Amino acid sequence: MKVIILAGGHGTRLAEETAVRPKPMVDIGGRPMLWHIMNIYASHGFKDFIVACGYKGEMIKQYFADFLIQNNDYVVDLKNGSQRIINENGVDWQVTLMDTGISTLTGGRILRLRPLLDDATFMVTYGDGVGNVDLRALLAFHRAHGKLATVTAVRPPSRFGDLTLDGDVVRSFSEKAQTAAGWINGGFFVFESGLFKYLKDERIALEREPLDHLARDGQLIAYRHEGFWQPMDTVRERELLEQLWSEGDAPWKTWS
């Protein structure tokens, strides 16, 4: 099954980082956010990726062009320049890198990729968020309800520390709490090819008319994810993810 990763936005809310690189290439633990997202999918057996590039997409393309050499040991023959890989790292992903335009909106990016999808079921997520979503359970849920689209519904992370009070006494404090009420779009979509009836042209954002119209038609179903989910929209959120990774407490690390 193909997995589209929307990696073309400008990331303006993380301008301190994205002035020089696309947001999916911002490092967490010395690896790009994109690498973390792809590992989540690969750990559940989904290894056929299409990366929808846009803003500074050449950096993403260069990363994968160099991936084999940068992530394996190798011998180089300085006489003729030939290289031989040794101690392979076992990464067996297939990655398609497509330029979908600098300013194309999310729906338009998916529309541009339609020729690569063969009218089959496919997955989509954003290039700036991680979670410990059970992707096989998500796919089974999608197939069971038989509609065109599934969105993973998540609890939004709290912007502030969460206090549990007993009178004026603080009984617990959690800096990483997620809110107890309300659901938001967490990405990690599954779509049937019928989605394309709702993508009229490339000037459309997936999150506006397409999802709204799918919902009105009863074709959009929510998969509730109660576990960890965290976007990387701000420097503070990047620092949180970096801290979790450095402490060995990264809930999205579903791979060994």
- Residues 6 or more apart in contact with residue 238 via CB below 8 angstroms: 14, 17, 26, 28, 232
In angstroms, the Cα distances linking 161 to 44, 55, 155, 173 are: 32, 34, 15, 7
d(CA 89, CA 119): 33
Low-confidence stretches of the chain (pLDDT < 50) are none
pLDDT in tens, 129-143: 999 999 999 999 999
pLDDT, residue 26, reads 96
User: Right CATH number for 2-246 from 3.30.450.20, 2.60.40.2250, 3.40.50.2000, 3.90.550.10?
Assistant: 3.90.550.10
pLDDT, residue 60, reads 97
Burial of 249 (0-12, 13-18, 19+ CB in 10 A): exposed
Other C-beta atoms within 10 Å of 169: how many? 7
d(CA 66, CA 59): 11
pLDDT, residue 162, reads 62
Strands 229-231, 220-225: parallel, antiparallel or unpaired by DSSP?
unpaired
pLDDT, residue 88, reads 81
pLDDT, residue 160, reads 57
pLDDT in tens, 138-158: 999 999 999 999 999 998 876
| Structural tokens at position 254 | 């579903």
Strand partners, 50: 4, 96
d(CA 179, CA 164): 12
Q: How is the chain split into domains, by residue range?
A: 2-246
